[in-house]
Amino acid sequence: MEYSGGGATLSEMYQSARRLLLSARDGVARVERLASAPTSSSYSSAPLVGGGAAGDPAVAEEVRREVAQIQGLCAQMDRLWRSIPAKGQRDLWKRKVEQLSEEVDSLKETLDKYSLRQKKRILEAKERAELFERANGESSHVLRIFDDEAQAKQSARNSSRMLEEAYETGVAILHKYADQRDRLKSAQRKALDVLNTVGLSNSVLKLIERRHRVDKWIANAGMITTVVVMIAFWRLTH
């Protein structure tokens, strides 16, 4: 016995729903294969990651339409099987319609999970693209920092070299003053020997000694001045 609704019998609706279900299953399998296909991990390919493959959105949309059609047929069949007078036939069609509804609900759940994965992939792709853009923008700033550090190190090396040269010059001047002092002492001893030999007066000897003390002060003052200049130059350069 056939029961009709809107011009189609319950059996015809069920067969149509089964055909749509098989097509929807095949579409879901295609979507899952395309979504699991390997994609490029580079930032430049980020727009492709959102879809997994070019045909994903179209296939998924077609499956959603088929699922909606099956759910509509299930709603019609649910009304029809309730009007069957024979309890055995009514229970049989109830199980068939409920099983069909469970299968289509499972397909719909799979599609919903696929949509969530796609949204997550699109979001990750956008985040990678933004990160790549920020990295490109910050690289020039990092290079400028390295350049400034290199210039600062070069300036420090130049200052250190200038300080070493000033120190070497100061040491050379001190050595020169020390040599002059030794020569003055030697000249003084020779002069005293000569004066003692010729019998010059004590006043001349005192004058020579005073001159020697003055020369000694001059030498000491020169050395002290050189040390002060070196210390001041070192502080200015650091």
Distance CA 222, CA 215 (A): 10
- Span 57-81, pLDDT tens digits: 788 888 889 999 998 999 999 888 8
Place of tokens 């930032």: 43
Distance CA 126, CA 43 (A): 9
Question: Is residue 30 in a domain?
Answer: yes
Question: Is residue 44 in a domain?
Answer: no
pLDDT, averaged across the chain: 78
pTM strictly above 0.75: no
Most confident listed range (9-18, 107-116, 154-163, 170-179):
9-18
Range of the domain at 194: 4-36+55-135+151-237
Question: Is residue 46 in a domain?
Answer: no
Type of residue numbered 227: V
Which sign, positive or negative, has the C-alpha torsion 164, 170, 174, 179? positive
- Give the percent of the chain with pLDDT over 90: 14
Question: How far lies 224's CA from each of 106, 127, 162, 219, in Å?
Answer: 98, 68, 20, 9
Question: Is residue 84 in a domain?
Answer: yes
Mean pLDDT along residues 175-198 = 74
What does the pLDDT read at residue 19? 93
In this predicted model, which residue has the larger pLDDT, 51 or 190?
A: 190
Q: Are 39 and 45 in contact (CB under 8 A)?
A: yes
Type of residue numbered 12: E
Asked if the model's pLDDT at residue 7 lies above 70, the reply is: no
Asked if the model's pLDDT at residue 164 lies above 90, the reply is: no
Residue 35 bridge partners (DSSP):
none
Question: Is residue 201 in a domain?
Answer: yes
Q: Does an H or E element contain 151, and which?
A: helix 87-198
**Can you say how many angstroms the Cα of residue 175 is from the centroid of all Cα atoms in its chain?**
58
Q: Are 94 and 81 in contact (CB under 8 A)?
A: yes
Count of structural domains within the chain:
1
Question: Is residue 142 in a domain?
Answer: no
Asked if the model's pLDDT at residue 223 lies above 90, the reply is: no
Question: Is residue 210 in a domain?
Answer: yes
DSSP 42: S
Mean pLDDT along residues 152-161 = 79
